[in-house]
Chains A and B, each alone.
Chain A
């Protein structure tokens, strides 16, 4: 079955430190991949997406993600975290043929310590 796994429920990072959030997918073929961020009381905002091509994808707010086919992973990174990055982050995937529904991971809550 198609699935997206985010192994970390919570992560705490010091402000200014680097961040990496993990995401693994299970699909028959390489899916389209997405990262969303949800701030408290808000909807989900698209950070970045990967369809094909360059495996390092740049997104908004200084985030980037790297697609690694061999590891079935699409990890999200940021070199220096700001307190305003505290939020919940969702990885999502969908099949790359026709229309297919997005499958979301369970989310990782990022806490930023002073």
Chain B
């Protein structure tokens, strides 16, 4: 298995633009998580899905953030409009039945200028 795949690896965008981050979880995993990592706040759980259904989005910072999981093999995190304070590394992770450690992707480094 290729692991959790995220794209793009790096994204530089201008303030106000829409940004879409993508994630392909490990096949067969039934949980998917989106995290944000910054120096100031560390790792923050934004949202997680179980069997493609959003379970807890209490970590999503604002209405500008939205996440979808249209099928078991794909998820997106969208920021619209983007702001400089959204600059961070965004990680996607997946897990099987929540009983094991999560497998993380390599992350998307987002820079909003």
Interface string of A45-86 (1 = CB under 8 A from B): 110010000000000000000000000000000000000000
Selected from A94, A101, A104, the residue in CB contact (under 8 A) with B56 is A101
Question: Nearest residue in B to A106 (C-beta to C-beta)?
Answer: B42
Any chain B CB within 8 A of the CB of A34?
yes
Any chain A CB within 8 A of the CB of B82?
no
Bound: A101/B99 CA distance, A: 10
Question: Nearest residue in B to A34 (C-beta to C-beta)?
Answer: B101
Q: Is the CB of A104 within 8 A of B42?
A: yes
Count contacts on A: residues with CB < 8 A to the other chain. 20
Any chain A CB within 8 A of the CB of B45?
yes
Question: Nearest residue in A to B45 (C-beta to C-beta)?
Answer: A101
Any chain A CB within 8 A of the CB of B103?
yes
Which residues, 1 to 46 on A, are CB-close (under 8 Å) to B? 34, 36, 41-46
Q: Which residues of B contact A90 (CB under 8 A)?
A: 43
Q: Which residues of B contact A102 (CB under 8 A)?
A: 45, 101-102
B→A interface (CB under 8 Å) = 4, 31, 42-43, 45, 48, 50, 56, 91, 93, 97-98, 100-107
Question: 7 extra interchain contacts, Cβ-Cβ under 8 A, other than A41-B106, A99-B50, A101-B48?
Answer: A42-B107, A43-B4, A43-B104, A44-B93, A90-B43, A99-B98, A102-B101
